[in-house]
Chains A and B, each alone.
Chain A
């Protein structure tokens, strides 16, 4: 997308007009949370203003309309992810909750002593800690795929880890630190060959590239609404339909039951079985609006845009002495650029950037094992999205140079 297209998109995002410390906001923290276009805010507002009521139990018109809007949102998100049916899409709070649902419901039912859970060293804590907890409950063991020398996953090591003991492979579609897209289809094929399930953390990929869960051949895929232009508090978990239908409930309560007696209950069919309590109806409606916005721009176009920005950032940073960038270079690299400035702590770099209006994240990015593998305690991380113009990459690089020089000036 050229800068004229990006400028038109930016006009849809009111927050991008604000200033920070007297400078125009340069928002490069999309990997942590994206911003929302007016269309999403309007959809949430319209829901509350015109039709809100509780869903799935209404004897009245508003409830019927709210239920329709909620189920239409489910169908929209399912279609966006390439799911064959909306029945297999569960609304959750965020990808973290979706991954916990898998580890609790599927994990407790299928894991036992000596079974192996394969994760990668690049996983976000959200796709690692729930499996550690499952391992503690069931006696299963965790194995981790290391990085190869090019900072991509070491697929040979991955294949060597697989065995009949492998019951599940938990992997991110796109690393939230290195920006690299993992070869999930290849990973899934190898896992299925030994009878293991493949559960994917799609929090970073779904907002930035076309996702087709059927084509990927995976068993489950979790996303967070707030990273894909939607509201906070809403996410989605797609699970292959037969598998989802076989899974026990995660949370108990209203909505997820069929019949309830004092000592026992029978459970609702999917997907309701996994949606205890009143769901985040307005947020689901907002997420559907976000999905329609992304589709209108085009996921292929957004992915090409992010890749071009990543290439530009990597090229500019390579010209800067004293700046070290992580992650591979290539067509599998999206708009997430982690880096360190030699001799300056990442938080101090981030503060220097913040003082110029440039919003980035600094820290371990909820990926402490990956930080250890990279040999750092933390990094700065800049991340782009469809509203990032090339000028913001230039501003970022200028601000990083300024930060480097500011701290170098002290004796």
Chain B
């Protein structure tokens, strides 16, 4: 399989062109804008959280196939999960993008595994998740993907 085929799985191109969770949740409890200032990708994530459970998630914005598909798959994966489960999913997603074998709980998100092979594109896949974390922290103003630590500090 070529590098392109490993990265641009059918589901990624499909979701970027025909997303299932594009739009805005209404009524919503959380809203967060995410930006990748270096490339101009932008995302507006809306969520409805009841108690500790995410009832609905949706996104609007524009960007590359990887960021759009990642946002769509994330919004779908978040729905119905508790906040604790969502954070665990994020951790598993990040581990996969560091090159670790994908955890089973990632489900459709495993389609983004190939992105780990291209350091230049990892931020595209993590932008939606960084935006989600910002929404959970109740940040004011847009969050930049650049605030995300690029690498672990040497120990």
Residues on A lying within 8 angstroms of B by beta carbon are 21, 344-348, 351-352, 354-355, 362-364, 368, 371, 377-378, 406-407, 410-411
Find out whether the CB atom of A351 lies under 8 angstroms from the CB atom of B120. yes
The answer, yes or no, to whether B153 is at the interface (CB within 8 Å) is: no
Tell whether A410 pairs with B63 under 8 Å between CB atoms, given A347-B121, A351-B118: no
Asked if B29 is at the interface of the complex by the 8 Å CB criterion, the answer is: no
Interchain residue pairs with CB less than 8 A apart (10): A347-B66, A347-B124, A348-B8, A348-B64, A348-B66, A355-B3, A363-B40, A407-B13, A410-B10, A410-B17
CB contacts (< 8 Å) of B121 on chain A: these are 347, 351
Judge whether B38 is part of the interface by a CB distance below 8 angstroms. yes
Per the 8 Å Cβ criterion, residues 1-44 of B in contact with A are 2-4, 7-8, 10, 13-14, 17, 38-41
Q: In the complex, what distance in Å separates the CA atom of A344 from the CA atom of B13?
A: 10
8 Å CB contact of A410 from B13, B38, B66, B124: B13
B83 contacts the other chain (CB 8 A): no
Expressed in whole angstroms, the Cα–Cα distance for A411 and B121 within the complex equals: 24
Is there contact, CB below 8 Å, between A406 and B8?
yes
Q: Is the CB of B65 within 8 A of A345?
A: yes
Contacts of A410 in B (CB 8 A): 10, 13-14, 17
Chain A residues within 8 Å of B2, by CB = 355
Task: Give Cα A345 to B17, complex, Å.
Answer: 11
Q: Which residues of B contact A354 (CB under 8 A)?
A: 118, 120
* B13 contacts across to A, CB distance below 8 A: 407, 410
Q: Encode contact with A along B57-93: 1 for CB under 8 Å, 0 otherwise.
A: 0000011111000000000000000000000000000
Band of interface residues on B? 20 to 34
| B39→A363 contact, CB < 8 A | yes
Pick the most buried of B4, B38, B63: most chain A CB atoms within 10 A of its CB.
Answer: B4
For B8, the chain A residues whose CB sits under 8 A away are: 348, 406-407
CA distance A377 to B64 in the complex (A): 11
B115's nearest neighbour on chain A, judged by CB, is A351
Complex Cα distance, B58 from A250, in Å, reads: 49
A364 to B39, Cβ gap below 8 A?
yes
Given the complex of chains A and B, what is the CA–CA distance between A364 and B39 in angstroms? 6
Are A352 and B4 in contact, with the CB atoms below 8 A? Answer: yes
Interchain CB contact (< 8 A) of A345 among B4, B38, B64: B64
Report the nearest B residue to A411, measured CB to CB.
Answer: B14
Distance in Å: Cβ of A95 to nearest Cβ of chain B: 19
Q: Judge whether B63 and A345 touch: CB under 8 Å.
A: yes
Contacts of A363 in B (CB 8 A): 38-40
Residue of A with least CB distance to B62? A377
Complexed CA–CA distance, A411 and B10 (Å): 9
Within 8 Å by CB of A368, from B10, B14, B40, lies B40
With the chains together, A352 CA to B5 CA distance in Å? 10
Binary CB contact string for chain B from 90 to 123 against chain A (1 if under 8 A, 0 otherwise): 0000000000000000000000000000101100
B39, closest chain A residue (CB): A363
Query: B124 contacts which chain A residues (CB < 8 A)?
Result: 347
Give which listed residue, A351, A368, A371, A411, contacts B7 with CB less than 8 A: A351
CB distance from B78 to the nearest CB of A (A): 24
A375: min CB distance to chain B, Å: 13
User: In the complex where A347-B121, A351-B7, A355-B3 touch, is A377 in contact with B14 (Cβ < 8 A)?
Assistant: no
The minimal Cβ–Cβ distance linking B6 to chain A, given in whole angstroms, is: 9
Apart from A351-B4, A364-B39, A406-B4, list 20 A-B contacts with CB within 8 A: A344-B65, A345-B63, A345-B65, A347-B39, A347-B41, A347-B63, A348-B8, A348-B64, A348-B66, A351-B121, A355-B3, A355-B4, A362-B39, A364-B40, A371-B40, A377-B62, A378-B39, A378-B40, A410-B10, A410-B13
Q: Which residues of B contact A377 (CB under 8 A)?
A: 40, 62
Q: How far is the CA of A289 from the CA of B45 in the complex (A)?
A: 51
Q: Kindly name the residue among A344, A351, A406 whose own CB sees the greatest number of chain B CB atoms within 10 A.
A: A351
Q: Give A347's nearest chain B residue, CB to CB.
A: B64
| Residues of chain A contacted by B10 (CB below 8 angstroms) | 410
Closest A residue to B10 by beta carbon equals: A410
CA–CA, A346 and B36, complex, Å:
14
Contact of B65 among A348, A355, A378, A411 (CB under 8 A): A348
- In the bound complex, what is the Cα–Cα distance between A344 and B124 (angstroms)? 15
| Chain B residues near A368 (CB-CB < 8 A) | 40
